[in-house]
Amino acid sequence: MSVTSGPVEIVLVYQSLLGIYGDQGNAVVLRQRLRWRGIDAVVTRVEPGDAVPATGSVYLLGGGEDAAQVSAVRYLTEDGGLFRAMDAGAVLFAVCAGYQITGRTFTVGDHDEVIAGLGLLDVETRRGPVRAVGEILSHWTRPDGSESLVTGFENHGGYTYLGASATPLGHVEIGLGNNGDGTEGAVQGHVVGTYPHGPVLARNPELADYVLELALGRSLEPLPNAEIDRLRTERLDWVRRLPPRAAATCA
């Protein structure tokens, strides 16, 4: 979606359902990185019962529990606004539970009931043998071929498996990622799914700019920031010094 006039609209979806891990911070990061570049941006918050606008450039889904996932899928399907926005070229950035419901199916409850997802990503999620809890570090190959490290905190019991139409966002150095196969997240067109919290876009400004570039349909000039670079270096060094068990998965 190429924005030519008016502010860039960032739509934060259903924080009462999918907002328990601070992922709403991703909206603040995107808005601020646009404003630093002189691009006007607004954050629109929608809750169940509100109409989801089809006018947004970026839509954000965050983390939540099983019942919240099921409710979010039902409300979004009945509303239809997100689907209309995606048809118009908007970007969807989905984290953890939001990532899972963006796929074709996911499971919930003690009996692993299979629930139809939004069908925007060719992925399926099933309960895994151990819960992934801890720092995660993955290697993301950017569209220009260069590599960037993505850091965050994963906390999920679902294991996500990619179909042929989706490609991994990154490859894991530390942590579990999608299902222990060495991959993390998924990208398909203008849909980006990932597991890390943090919020992940605060920890990874290059990933934030990638989301914005998808939405704007053009490259953005870099935003050098020595303090952010220093904090990232410290965090990456710290993660790599963690004992393997603390840095990867635990039950």
Please check whether residue 119 lies inside any domain of the structure: yes
Asked if the structure places residue 1 within a domain, the reply is: no
Judge whether 110 lies within some domain. yes
Q: Where are the beta strands (DSSP E) in 103-216?
A: 105-108, 113-116, 123-141, 147-162, 170-174, 183-184, 186-188, 191-194
- β-pair partners for 3: none
* 3 occurs within a structural domain: no
- The model's pLDDT over 91-140, given as tens digits with 9 standing for 90+, comes to 999 999 999 999 999 999 888 999 999 999 999 999 999 999 999 999 99
Query: Within a domain: residue 138?
Result: yes
Do 106 and 125 form a contact (C-beta atoms < 8 A)? Answer: yes
Candidates 111, 171, 190, 197; catalytic one: 197
What is the distance, to the nearest Å, from the Cα of residue 129 to the centroid of all Cα atoms in its chain? 23
Residue-range definition of the domain harbouring residue 139:
8-247
Is 2 among the domain residues? no
Q: Which amino acid is at 242?
A: L
Please report how the helices 205-216 and 25-35 are oriented relative to each other, as an axis angle in degrees rounded to 10.
Answer: 70
**Chain position carrying tokens 């070229």:** 89
pLDDT band at 237 (very low <50, low <70, confident <90, very high): very high
Structure tokens at 120: 């925007």
Q: Is 190 a catalytic residue?
A: no
**Do the domain assignments include residue 150?**
yes
∠ CA 56-178-190, nearest 5°, is 25
High-pLDDT (> 70) share of the chain, %: 95
Among residues 201, 212, 215, which one has the least CA distance to residue 150? 201
Identify any residues that bridge with 91 across adjacent strands, giving them in sequence order.
58
Mean pLDDT of 70-88: 98
Q: What share of the chain is helix, strand, coil (3-state, %, to 5)?
A: 30, 30, 40
The arithmetic mean of pLDDT across residues 25-42, rounded, is 98
Indicate which CATH number applies to the domain containing 170: 3.40.50.880
* Tokens 């222990």 belong to residue: 180
Phi-psi region of 29 (alpha: psi -120 to 50; beta: other; left: phi over 0): alpha
Q: How many residues does the chain have?
A: 251
Structure confidence at residue 243 as a pLDDT band (50, 70, 90): confident
Give percent of the chain above pLDDT 90.
89
**Under 8 Å between Cβ of 160 and 119:** no
Instruction: Count up the domains in the chain and report the number.
Output: 1
- Specify whether 96 is catalytic: yes
Shortest CA distance to 205 belongs to which of 185, 226, 182?
Answer: 226
